[in-house]
Chains A and B, each alone.
Chain A
């Protein structure tokens, strides 16, 4: 049985890994794992960035994709370096998922994700909540699929 959420994102499920260029200038190895929960009512997203030299994890994240009543994606997320947030989908091309929401400390986060074939691209940015300037550097991640989701994994 599929759900509206899985109808749109089933091809995103699995584990993805690739290089991340952080907005602050350093690089790391990023891994995303997307798993359906409760029969596909939500998708759990687990993220970890590893230091390339030491292989130690340097950032950790967690979140859930779900749909609101109008069918737009809601992503409640946690990152150990920014805390907690609820992001809501913003208009974009049909194959692109763009999200935005407030962070603690009068900041706003926006995230843009896309899966094309076996490549998952993501860019994100944090900016002051009271300015609309778009000149802050973004974090860019380009990942390749390393494992498909297998039913029963969750």
Chain B
């Protein structure tokens, strides 16, 4: 199916989880989705920290928006890869699969899969120019993200 921004509107909010980096470290992840550009775009903010929350391994700020042709792409800035333009790949409903090359030629792949209404499975990996195409055994950053809700006091 060809995705639209509206297909991801139900993801708007903050998502958090504990996962692992591509290099094998434990990481805490915070991901937010919010509507932007008069509702035609989806702003995404990603942060992955060490477990003490004192080091940010990776941060990505991005905007998913339609080209004049209607095709969705994501504009992004990554603290590791710099400026990015990522293509939204056709996929099943409830999946956001983004892929593209960094300015230095690294291949970036990012996927969110909606496993349940309040659960997203996040996976991402990158490989340098000339490195073999990723296979099932390629190391990835992975994290199961849960929707984060504001604390509310329990009733008596």
Q: Would you call B75 and A42 a contact (CB within 8 A)?
A: no
- Of A12-20, A22-30, A60-68, A109-117, the segment with at least 4 beta carbons within 8 Å of chain B is A60-68
Chain A CB within 10 Å — which of B41, B56, B85 has the most? B85
Q: Interface SS of chain A: helix, strand, loop or mixed?
A: strand
Residue in contact with B75 in the complex, picked from A60, A81, A84, CB distance below 8 Å: A84
**A57 — which chain B residues lie within 8 A by C-beta?**
38
* Cβ-closest chain A residue relative to B37: A60
Residue in contact with B67 in the complex, picked from A37, A83, A86, CB distance below 8 Å: A83
* Cβ-closest chain A residue relative to B75: A78
* Cβ-closest chain B residue relative to A64: B77
| B61 contacts the other chain (CB 8 A) | yes
Within B25-81, the residues touching A (CB, 8 Å) are 36-38, 40-41, 56, 59, 61, 63, 65-69, 73, 75-77, 79
| A98 contacts the other chain (CB 8 A) | no
* Cβ-closest chain A residue relative to B60: A38
Interface string of A79-109 (1 = CB under 8 A from B): 0111110100000000000000000100000
Residue in contact with A66 in the complex, picked from B40, B66, B67, B82, CB distance below 8 Å: B82
Contacts A57-B38, A76-B83 given; indicate if A38 touches B77 (C-beta within 8 A): yes
| B103 contacts the other chain (CB 8 A) | yes
What is the bound-complex CA distance between A45 and B133, given in angstroms? 34
What is the bound-complex CA distance between A60 and B68, given in angstroms? 12
The 16 sampled A-B contact pairs (Cβ below 8 Å) are A37-B61, A38-B59, A38-B61, A41-B79, A42-B61, A42-B83, A68-B103, A74-B82, A76-B85, A80-B40, A80-B66, A83-B67, A83-B68, A84-B85, A86-B83, A86-B85
12 additional contacts (CB under 8 A) given A62-B41, A66-B82: A38-B77, A38-B79, A41-B77, A66-B83, A74-B103, A76-B85, A80-B65, A80-B66, A83-B69, A83-B73, A84-B85, A86-B103
